[in-house]
Structure 1
Amino acid sequence: MPVRADELPETAVPSPPAGQMIIGRFDQPPPYAITRPRGSDSWLFTWTTGGAGLLRQGAAEATAASGDLVVLGPGVPQHYRVRPGAGNWAFWWAHCQARPSWAAWLRPYETADLLYAVPRAPGGIRERVDAAFRRMLADARWTGEGAPPARAAPESVPDGEVAVAHGTAARELALCSLEEVVLLAAARAEPRRTGTDPRIRRAEDLIAADPGAPHTVASLAERVSLSPSRFAHLFTEQLGHSPMRALLHARLLHAARLLEATELPVERVAAASGFGSPFHFSRVFRQRYGVPPGAYRNGLRDGG
């Protein structure tokens, strides 16, 4: 049976006020532990950089190792500590009120009782998240005059460093950095087509992320560690169209968005969307949308 946080014997620690934004970095040995029998008034975000932690909230439990983001929502009994057997727990933490828009990103990772355990992030994302926390710490100390303090170097943030974002601008800047952390760590939970090979989903992501890039069947296959023939066969079998057809559709959608949102000339829209020839672009755009690019843009202006 899971141990409930409010049944644990450690001395209770009060939570920060709901409206405050507090950021810190700890590197704690055993027996470091925090217990809040009535939960916290604010959200707690933890990002582990070394050692291991154990976090419990209500009946939910999560371990945290390097590269793990664990979030505890407010109002539920909570307890967290150095994981038994670990020599330490090094982690960034932030107490604040979460922005409502973050709920959709965190929801796929909820285990129970408002405990969200986001699985280990790959190396490149870890570097970005670490940098975001260091920027958060610096921005929390901004007075609103001059430039915000420089972000600290990774090796220069001591254990026990804590900052409270007192000013509105400092708090909003710190929240923006925390939002970056949530997006970087949790973006892998975007809705996916069930039953699709993860390598094919990865190729879809590569196309959608940069449709104007010079993708080919061979280059996409290499990125997902498949032979070109096997990749093309799997892609077509699982999605119902070829990789190059998917690329064309993505490029045309990208072009339509540029026509809707910018004043770029049609030739530049074509180039930015991966089309080497403006004439070819106009022809396939008309086939897809029923009108040439210029008429498509003019129709939007006219309310058509």
Structure 2
Amino acid sequence: MTEFLNNPAISSESDGRTDPPGSQASDDLTGHLPTMPITQSPPPGVLIADHFHQNAEYRTYRPDGTRDYLITLTLNGCGTYRIGDEVRLCRRGDVMVLTPGTPHRYGTSSEAGYWEFVWCHFLPHEDWQPYLALPAALPGLLHVQLAQPAVFERVLQAFRRLIGDQLHTDPLHERMAYLALEEIVLLLAMQGGEAQGSLSLDPRIEEVKRLLLERMQEPHTIQSLAEQVRLSPSRLSHLFKEATGMSIIGMLHHIRLRQGARLLAYTSRPVGEIAEAVGFQSPFYFTKQFSAAYGISPSAYRRAAQSLHAGDGTSPDTKPGTSPGGL
């Protein structure tokens, strides 16, 4: 790793830091290949990441690809990837993943003249492979667009932790760096959809789902949710039902009851507090809705859960008609 980092042929002139994912050259990506210097890549197995601000001259050329994965997230400006004769641009929110052995060129696009991005070279753990079954923009080049601001920010924060932790040499920081990278991979799998065997939801529907999950205690209305994703209430209701098979209010109802069941099973909070915490206006209404969904009162559900914890094998979730359904 030291030999790689000290190689002067791959130092970045734009920010004074070592430049493993690319090299500087005056050639355009569509230029004459023999004039473009080959960019060295890190040894496989080295976890290395950084945050770059690159100018219009930034170029990379690896005719044999790399022996690891390279992931980039564009923050500002525009980059260009070229695989064979095909070209793809990447703008803010675009995550590109180059797979091992893919011959490639990439660099700053002439469209913007600069490219700000975070990146990481890595070899995945074996159990990550299903999550890297992401949509392909080109052969050997995977692509996920982070259209939701909340998801973009979460991936960026994970990148920042990864970049900071991988600078340390102790095993604990190395482990934390890999945990941050694993979070990124899982978030991409959730957005890319192929790892789950289905297509991604419309980003506006994903945003509504996120709001329902993270703010279940708030008094949501279809009108207020529609305003946040810039759709009409009728259009949002139609798209949501088409994508999820549930109405917005129906999903919020399920989310609240499911969380209520968890709090009953694993905490000692009073039923009234739980009702308020999950968004019900009164304990009476919570009890009525919970009993209708689970076929058992909240108090009886808690007793059954406590019996399960005591080891007698009973569980309210295993009884017919006691689950409000999945999401």
- Tell me the TM-score normalized by structure 2: 0.67
Aligned to 2:177: 174
Count of aligned residue pairs for this structure pair: 275
Cα distance 1:209–1:76, how it changes in 2: closer, same or farther (>3 A)?
same
1:53 matched to 2:79? The reply is yes
After the TM superposition, which of the residue ranges 175-184 and 18-27 deviates more from structure 2?
175-184
Structure 1 CA distance for aligned equivalents of residues 119 and 127 of structure 2: 20
2:147/2:203 contact within 8 Å kept: no
1:71 matched to 2:97? The reply is yes
Among all aligned residue pairs of Structure 1 and Structure 2, give the percentage whose two residues are the same amino acid: 37
Structure 1 CA distance for aligned equivalents of residues 197 and 223 of structure 2: 24
Q: 1:245 is matched by which residue type in structure 2?
A: G
Indicate the SS of the match to 1:284: helix
1:232/1:242 contact within 8 Å kept: no
Q: CA deviation at 1:170?
A: 2.0
1:46/1:94 contact within 8 Å kept: yes
Aligned to 1:93: 119
Aligned to 1:252: 257
Q: Which runs of 4+ in 1 moved over 6 A?
A: 191-194
Structure 1 CA distance for aligned equivalents of residues 150 and 111 of structure 2: 28
1:25/1:91 contact within 8 Å kept: yes
Q: CA deviation at 1:296?
A: 2.0
Structure 2 CA distance for aligned equivalents of residues 174 and 208 of structure 1: 28
Aligned to 1:110: 136
2:256/2:279 contact within 8 Å kept: yes
Instruction: State the Cα deviation string for residues 64-106 of structure 1 (Å, max 9, x = none).
Output: 2233221112232232223345523332221112345655555
Point out which structure has higher relative CO (alpha carbons under 8 A, 6+ apart): 1
1:33 matched to 2:59? The reply is yes
Aligned to 2:22: none
Indicate the SS of the match to 2:133: helix
1:235/1:241 contact within 8 Å kept: no
2:78/2:91 contact within 8 Å kept: yes
Aligned to 1:152: none
Q: CA deviation at 1:291?
A: 1.2
1:11/1:35 contact within 8 Å kept: yes
2:275/2:281 contact within 8 Å kept: yes
CA RMSD of aligned residues (A): 3.7
Aligned to 2:300: 295
Q: CA deviation at 1:22?
A: 0.8
Q: CA deviation at 1:292?
A: 1.3
1:12 matched to 2:22? The reply is no
Q: 1:283 is matched by which residue type in structure 2?
A: K
Q: 2:313 is matched by which residue type in structure 1?
A: G
Q: 1:51 is matched by which residue type in structure 2?
A: G
Cα distance 1:121–1:218, how it changes in 2: closer, same or farther (>3 A)?
closer
1:27/1:90 contact within 8 Å kept: yes
After the TM superposition, which of the residue ranges 130-139 and 179-188 deviates more from structure 2?
179-188
5+ residue gaps, structure 1, are: 143-165
5+ residue gaps, structure 2, are: 1-29, 315-327
Q: 1:299 is matched by which residue type in structure 2?
A: A
1:275 matched to 2:280? The reply is yes
1:27/1:89 contact within 8 Å kept: yes
1:251/1:274 contact within 8 Å kept: yes
Q: 2:176 is matched by which residue type in structure 1?
A: L
Indicate the SS of the match to 1:13: coil
1:58/1:113 contact within 8 Å kept: no
Aligned to 2:225: 220
Structure 2 residue corresponding to 1:21, chosen from 28, 31, 47 = 47
1:52/1:83 contact within 8 Å kept: yes
Q: CA deviation at 1:134?
A: 3.3
Indicate the SS of the match to 1:39: coil
Indicate the SS of the match to 1:257: helix
